[in-house]
Amino acid sequence: MLFNSYIFIFVFLPITLLVFFGLARFRLTKVAVVWLTITSFYFYGYWSIPYLALMLISVVFNHQMGRAIDRAIDNVDPKTNQAKTLLWIGIIVNLLIISYYKYANFFISSLNSVLSTTITSPEIILPLGISFYTFTQIAYLVDAYRGETKGYKYDLLTYSLFVTFFPQLVAGPILRHDELILQFRQLRSFVFSHKNMALGLTMFSLGLSKKVLIADNLSPWVAPVFNNAEAVSFIEAWVGALSYTFQLYFDFSGYSDMAIGLGLMFNIRLPINFDSPYKAISITDFWRRWHITLSNFLRDYLYIPLGGSRRGELRRYINLLLTMLLGGLWHGAGWTYVIWGGLHGLYLSINHWWRKLNIPLPKLLAWSVTFIAVVVGWVLFRAKTLPDGMEILQAMVGMKGIVIPGEAQGKLAVLTKFGLQLQSWKDFVYLPEVNGSKFLSMVVLVGLTLCATLLPNTQQILQKLKPTWWWAAWVGVLASFCLLSLNRVSEFLYFQF
């Protein structure tokens, strides 16, 4: 079930809210938790009943492993080290499950390529949200081993709601146990709040507008370029790359805004996942702003356990590279994702090395270098194959010639002396049109760049929000326009991860 569908907005969400707060009004808080857990399972099972069973098995297994680790910590005999053994069993089982469903075909195809074998790949459909709920539960097991869950005594019902709470189930944010469970143990979470409902509806509407009005309309601009990578020109490659850069941002940040808004409707504050990432003036700054909960997970459960920066500069760079390679692999089973992760590991290493030189860059230059580096990465991230990605990057740097719109006898003719080529607008077959004009598509991309780098983000807007009738009317108009634009339901891009 998708957030941007009529059945979710007009049926599932209102019924879930009404029954939840109706039960809570009669102080049936335990029943309200049961109801919310059941509806979260239904939300997931609406997509696939068999994979609902897989998620149920995963939830029960990890809950029991967490409790076993809690009990083992009480054993102070270092010779047994039972807690560590249980932790590794839990992690390995989780990784085996996700490896089968997400990476089996990738491994077999890579093996066939290297060994020239013909092993048949099984037909496997990737379970929705498996990367998110698996990482959430691995984090829980590690926290249990560290003694951070001690004393909470989470029962299966509470733990199930923590993992499956529908706003964050299929595409994050990736939560730690103390970011959600403790909120459901507070009485105020069960008291209807007009303020939180208003804020939640506003946040949801803003996120929906990002998805429906911007991301979905950029999708037709992206596909022709990446589907014809070997044929695109300099301008077409840049338009395709920038279109995907903004499609991915507005799609995923729109989902995160909607998830946070849904959480607020239930008086639950989910962590912020985006903080204007395209305003970043360094790659380190970018990863503090982009998919924040994944960045935190990679830092706390991978980079720091590997040693972080505690064992010298060389080890820091190796740890950064390993962390980001695995972060790339988490996103998808393909060499393009692995190389994208490795590229960002290299970016981060260069960033740390440059910072040691203590040579500050002018802010505009620092932003430009960072933004271009991110766009280059997104090309590889989106490309179907590595050769396709390289074709587009070659076009972007002019290795296929620099062809720009212009007439041979026009004012731009002088540019041909510098090696540039001119073509009529109609010859750029992979450029999108806005109201019949290809030029306007580039104006739109410039406008989106200014919006993403100069305007406040949704969190900043809500912090300054003073609820008035005018504001309610504006949000109502925006939401209505989005609902009328739901002529086709499209999945969120991060659902594939």
pLDDT tens-digit map of 349-362: 999 999 988 888 99
Of 94-98, 249-253, 330-334, 362-366, the least confident: 330-334
In this predicted structure, the answer to whether residue 258 has a pLDDT above a threshold of 60 is: yes
Q: Between 265 and 475, name the one with better pLDDT.
A: 265
**Got the DSSP string for 42-80?**
HHHHTT-HHHHHHHHHHHHHHHHHHHHHHHHHT---TTT
The one-letter code for the residue type at 14 is P
φ and ψ of 424, to 5 deg: -70, 150
d(CA 130, CA 93) in angstroms, rounded, equals 13
Q: For the chain, what are the domain ranges?
A: 6-192, 197-496
d(CA 312, CA 324) in angstroms, rounded, equals 18
In this predicted structure, the answer to whether residue 409 has a pLDDT above a threshold of 60 is: no
Q: Averaged over 107-122, what is the pLDDT?
A: 82
In this predicted structure, the answer to whether residue 414 has a pLDDT above a threshold of 60 is: no
Task: Calculate the average pLDDT of the chain.
Answer: 89
In this predicted structure, the answer to whether residue 79 has a pLDDT above a threshold of 50 is: no
Of 161-170, 235-244, 468-477, the least confident: 468-477
Q: Averaged over 376-405, what is the pLDDT?
A: 92
At residue 494, the pLDDT reads: 66
The pLDDT-based confidence of 408 (bands split at 50, 70, 90) is low
Give percent of the chain with pLDDT exceeding 70: 95
Catalytic residue of the set 63, 177, 291, 331: 331
In this predicted structure, the answer to whether residue 139 has a pLDDT above a threshold of 50 is: yes
At residue 410, the pLDDT reads: 59
The pTM assigned to this predicted structure is: 0.91
Q: Quote the tokens at residue 41.
A: 């399972």
d(CA 130, CA 112) in angstroms, rounded, equals 26
At residue 413, the pLDDT reads: 61
In this predicted structure, the answer to whether residue 441 has a pLDDT above a threshold of 70 is: yes
Q: Between 411 and 38, name the one with better pLDDT.
A: 38
In this predicted structure, the answer to whether residue 484 has a pLDDT above a threshold of 90 is: no
Q: Does the active-site annotation cover 331? A: yes
* Contact between 346 and 305 (Cβ < 8 Å): no
Give the length of the chain.
497
At residue 43, the pLDDT reads: 94
Give percent of the chain with pLDDT exceeding 90: 60
Highest mean pLDDT among 109-123, 204-218, 451-465: 204-218
